[in-house]
Amino acid sequence: MDIETIREHCLLKAAVTETFPFGEDTLVFKVSNKMFLLIGLENPTSFNAKCDPERAQQLREEFEEVQPGYHMNKTHWNTVFINGRLSDQQLISLIDHSYELVVNSLPKSKRLI
């Protein structure tokens, strides 16, 4: 999977915006102004995504491509390497899970899905 596929998938979701709050080298996807995915543009070999803490731990134990979130809250964020054993479908599933976690944390009046 490449960065353009990730970008296209994220932008198909309801109420998603892409921003650069940390500088021009880090693309951040938000839903209702809350981050759900970050990816570096200089060397896009991984992305950071939110994850249920229990599921995050299971994924980290099963896949070396899933690590505690780099520069993030390591309980709730994973760094996911996109050039390993994880299939495109597994990567999409992790992106979708992150998006859904953020949407479900929003007040009901702001949920668009």
The domain of 91 spans 3-107
Given a cut of 60, whether residue 71 has pLDDT beyond it is yes
Per-residue model confidence (pLDDT) at position 110: 73
Per-residue model confidence (pLDDT) at position 112: 65
Residue 88's CATH number: 3.90.1150.30
Amino acid at 21: P
The rounded distance, in Å, linking the Cα atoms of 15 and 44 is 24
63 within domain boundaries: yes
What is the model's pTM? 0.92
The rounded distance, in Å, linking the Cα atoms of 94 and 31 is 16
DSSP-derived letter for residue 51 is -
26 within domain boundaries: yes
What is the residue whose two structure tokens read 């994973």?
78
102 within domain boundaries: yes
CB 10 within 8 A of CB 29: yes
Q: Tell me how long the chain is.
A: 113
Query: For the chain, how many structural domains are there in total?
Result: 1
95 within domain boundaries: yes
